[in-house]
Structure 1
Amino acid sequence: MGRRLLLALALLAFIFGGLFLWRESRVQAADHPPAPPTVLTVSAVAVRAAPERVTLDAVGSLDAVRQVTLAPEVAGRIVALHFEAGATVRKGQLIVQLFDEPERAKLASIQAKAAYAKRQLDRSQALAQTGAEPRNIFDQHRFDFDASAADIRETQAVITQKAVRAPFDGVLGLRRVNLGQYLSAGDAIATLTDLDTLYANFTVPQKNLSQLRLGQNVSITTDAYPDRALIGRVSAIEPQIGADTRNVAVQATLANPDHLLRPGMYIQARLELPPRERALTVPDTAVQTSQRGESVLVVGKPGRDGLGVVRLQPVRTGRRAEGRIAIADGLRPGDVVVASGQVRLAAGDRVKVALDDGAGSGAAQ
C-alpha cells in the first residue's frame, strides 16, 4: 500500500513539473519572439534581346608589309659602315659605302670633257648661224656634248649604286658584313623591316566564305602579349580555296605603333562576322549545369514586400563569347535571372534583387 502511494505521488509530481516547465517556456517565448528569416540580396540581370555578335577564331602568323634584304647592285669593297644592328633608320639614310674612287675620278674627267664639248658646241652654233662653219661640224660638236652628258649620267648612276641606302623607314636586322669585305652584287648586308604596319595571315573554313568582307575587324593576340589585343582590318581575301585544306586564306592589316609584334609571330585571330538576328543572352555565370541539363534561377515579380520568389528554369543554350551565352529556349525578354551566388539559393526562396541594368545585352560566338 505504501509503495503504490509513493508511485502515485511521484507521477503527480512529474505531471505538475512538466506543466510548469511548459508554461514557463511559453512565457519566455512570448517575451522573446523568433528573429525574422534572413533575406538574401542577389545580383541579377534582366534578359534582353540584342543583335547576336558572331566571331570566328583562327590561327596564323604575322608578316611584314615592307621588308627587304639590303644588298649592293654592283660589286665593290666596303669602305664605311654607317649602321648598327637593330638600329632604326630613315628612308634614304646611308647604310654601306663601297669603294668608288675610280668612278669619281672618271666622273671628273668626263665632266671636264663635257665642259669642253659645251664650249665647242656654243662656238659652232654661232658660226653655223652665220654660215662661217659647215652644218656637219656643228652636228659633230652636238653629238660630242650629248655623249659626254650621257657618260656623266652613267658614271653618276654607278656611284649611286655603290652607296647602299635605306629604301624606306624601318629597323635593321643583324649585320652580315664587315669593314673591308668585298661584296658581289646581291650579297646580303642586313634586313630592313617596317614594323609600323604588319600583315596578319590566317585561314578560315570555306563554309564561312559568304561571311567574309573587306574591312571586317580582326582582333589579334599572341602568347607573347596574351592580355593585349590589336585590332586590324581584313585587307585581302584569297580568290582560290586551298585544294588540300578547303580553307580560305585571309589577310588583315594592322597598325603596330609600339613595335610589340614582329613578323613571323604565331597569332590567334578573332574575326568579327556579320551579326545574326537579335538573340537573348545572359552572363555565362547565370547558367548552371547538372545531370538534368542546363538551367537558370529566375526571380519572379516582387511582391508588396519587395521580395521575389526564385524558381528553377531549364534552358537551351547557344554560342558563347566574351563572358556571355546565348539562350535559344527557356527565357523571354524581361525575365530576371540570378547572375551569381546560386549556391546559396533554392527554388521557392524569397530574395531581394540588385539589378544590373547594364549587363543585359552582349555578344555570342
Structure 2
Amino acid sequence: MKSSGPVLLLVWSALLLSACSRDGAATNPGAGDAEDQPAVRVAEVVERKMTRSLELSGNILQSRKAALSPTVPGTIRQVHKREGDLVKKGEILVELDPRDFQLGVQQASAALSAARAGLAAAKTGLDGIEVQHQRFVDLRKENAVTKAEFEKIDTGYKVAQSQHEAAAAQARLAQVGLNAARKKLADTVARAPFDGVVTQRLLDPGEVVRMMPPSIVLVIMDIDPVNAEGQVAERDLGAIRERALVQVMVDALPGRHFAGEVEVVVPFVDPGTRTAKVRVVIDNPEHELKPGMSATIRIDLAEQMLVLVPREAMTSPPIDGKGSVFSVDGEQRIHLREIVVDQSQQGPEVVVLSGLRPGERVVVAGAGGLSDGQQIRLSGKLPKSAADAAPTSPASTDAPPGEPPPPPAAAQSAEAVRQAAEPGR
C-alpha cells in the first residue's frame, strides 16, 4: 500500500488538470480573437439617378430701385408721397417752385420771337434783291450793263444771302433755347419711373435740391415681383437650370412657402469661395416679402447620378455639410471617413457629395464604441441587448428534463480520484 501513494498522487494531478482544461473549454467555447470583435451590420454605398433639391441662404431684394429727385436745382414746393405709400408709373411725386423756370421760358420765347422777326426781315430783303440780281445776270450776258454795275448788284445779293443765313441760325438757336427752358420747367416735376412703393423720404417742402452732390428726395422700389439671391457651390452649378422651380422661405413668416423660379445663374465663379450667384424671382402681389428679409431658397435640381448612404451610417448629425462614417475594408477593419453631404436632403438616405465611392461598405448598426482601425465581424442582425448575445452554458443543456444538471467536469474528476484512493474500492 505504500507504493500506491505516489501513483495515486500522479493520477489525481492528471485528472485534475484534464478536468480544469475541459471546464475552461466549456465555459469559453470557441475562444479566440473573433469572439472579442464587435459585431456590426454594414451597407453598401450606392449610386442612383434621381433628383434632389438644394437649399441656399440669401436675402430678399427689390427687383428695381430708383433714387428720385428733380433734375434741376431749386426749392421743393411739394412732396406728394410718404414712406410706405404706393406709386404708379408716371405719377407726380415731387414738385419744385417753378417761378424762376417759368420766367426762363418767357425770356426764351421772347428771344425766339425776335429772332423769327429778324429772319422774316432778312428773307424779305433777300427776295427783293434776288429778283434784281437775276435781271442783272441776264443783262450782263447781253452786255447791256457794265461790269461795275453788275458787281455792285452781285455784292449786295451775297450780303443779303449772308444776312438771311445768320438770321435763320439765330432763329434756330432761339428755338433751342426755348426748348431747353421748357425742359427745365418740366424737370421741376419728378415722376415715378415704375410702379412701386416709397421706402425713404429724405427731403421735405422748403428744402433745396442741389445738383452737386445730387440731392435725393424719395427712394422707391419695385417689390412685385421681388428677387432673392444666394451663392451656390461650383460643384452644383451644372445641375441648376434657368426657369427651374424654387420655393422661398423667410424667417419672418414661419411655415410659409413662396413659389418662384430661377431667373439667372451669374456666369462667374468667385475664385475665393468657389461659388456663383443665383438670382430667383418671386411674385409678391400682397407685398408680404420685403427687401432685406433673410431667406432660404430651395431649388429643384436637374436629375443626376447621386452617391447615397443610409442616414444611420452617420456617426453624428452633419454640421455645416460635414460628417463622418465608418467604412469597412476587405480585411474587416473599419476606418473613420470624413465626408461632405447635402444637408438639405431629408429621408432615410444621405446624399454624399465627396468622401465615398459607390461599392464601398459602411457601418450602419453597432458602431457604438468603435475606433478607427478596429477589427470587426459582420452580423446580419445585431442582438437587442448584451444579455441576448451572451452564450448559454453547455452544462445546462445536458440534463434530462426534471433532473438537476450534472456537476462540472472538474468536480466529477475529483470524485473519481477520491474513490480510487479509498481502501477497498
Range into which the TM-score falls when normalised by the shorter chain: 0.5 to 0.7
Detail structure 1 runs of 4+ shifted over 4 Å in the superposition: 287-290, 318-328
- In structure 2, how many angstroms separate the alpha carbons of the residues matched to 1:141 and 1:225? 71
Tell me, yes or no, if the aligned pair for 1:319 and 1:325 is still in contact at 8 Å. no
SS of the aligned residue for 1:194 comes to strand
1:323 CA displacement = 7.5
The letter for the 1-side match of 2:96 is L
Query: Contact 2:55/2:298 (CA < 8 Å) preserved in 1?
Result: yes
Aligned residues: 247
Does residue 98 of structure 2 align to residue 103 of structure 1? no
Change (3 A) 1:118 1:327: closer
After TM superposition, the score normalised by the length of structure 2 is 0.52
User: Is the alpha carbon distance of 1:257 and 1:83 closer, same or farther for their aligned partners in structure 2, counting shifts above 3 Å?
Assistant: same
Match of 2:210 in 1: 184
Q: What's the offset of the Cα at 1:278?
A: 11
Partner Cα distance (1:143, 1:182) in 2: 37
Larger relative helix fraction: 2
% identical aligned pairs: 22
Shift of 1:289: 7.7
For residue 281 of structure 2, what is the amino acid of its counterpart? T
What do the CA deviations read for 1:26-63 (whole angstroms, capped 9, x no partner)?
Answer: xxxxxxxxxxxxxxxxxxxxxxxx97331111111122
Q: Which amino acid aligns with 2:263?
A: S
Moved more, 243-252 or 126-135: 126-135
Corresponding position of 1:219: 247
TM-score of the aligned structures, taking structure 1 as reference length? 0.60
CA distance in 2 between counterparts of 1:149 and 1:126 reads 21
Q: Deviations over 1:337-360 (max 9, x none)?
A: xxxxxxxxxxxxxxxxxxxxxxxx
Report the alpha carbon displacement of residue 325 of structure 1 after superposing the two structures with TM: 5.0
Which secondary structure state, in structure 2, belongs to the residue aligned with residue 214 of structure 1?
coil
Paired position in structure 2 for 1:253 = 281
Paired letter, 1:139 = E
Q: For the residues of structure 1 that align with 2:267 and 2:349, how far apart are their CA atoms? A: 33
Q: 2:271 aligns with which of 243, 255, 268?
A: 243
Q: Describe the shift of the 1:245–1:319 C-alpha distance in structure 2 as closer, same or farther (beyond 3 A).
A: closer
CA–CA distance in 2 between the matches of 1:131 and 1:261?
77
Question: Which residue does the alignment assign to 1:155?
Answer: 181
| Higher radius of gyration, 1 or 2 | 2
> Which of 72, 75, 100 is the matching residue for 2:73?
75
Letter in 2 for 1:92: G
Matches within 5 A, 1:1-365: 52-131=50-129, 134-185=160-211, 186-276=214-304, 325=348
Deviation at 1:261, TM superposition (A): 0.6
CA shift for structure 1 position 123: 4.7
Structure 1 unmatched runs, 5+: 1-49, 280-286, 291-317, 329-365
For residues 199 and 234 of structure 2, the distance between their equivalents in structure 1, rounded to whole angstroms, comes to 38
CA–CA distance in structure 2, aligned partners of residues 205 and 99 of structure 1 = 54
Alpha-carbon distance between aligned partners in 2 of 1:52 and 1:325, rounded to the nearest angstrom: 15
**1:188 deviation in Å?**
2.1
Q: Looking at secondary structure, tell me which structure has more strand per residue.
A: 1
Question: CA 1:146 to 1:59, structure 2 compared with 1: closer, same or farther past 3 Å?
Answer: same
For residue 196 of structure 1, give the secondary structure of its aligned residue in structure 2: strand
User: 5+ unaligned residues in a row in structure 2: which ranges?
Assistant: 1-47, 131-156, 314-340, 352-425
Q: Distance in 2 between matches of 1:240 and 1:51?
A: 28
Indicate if the aligned counterparts of 2:78 and 2:204 stay in contact, CA closer than 8 A: no
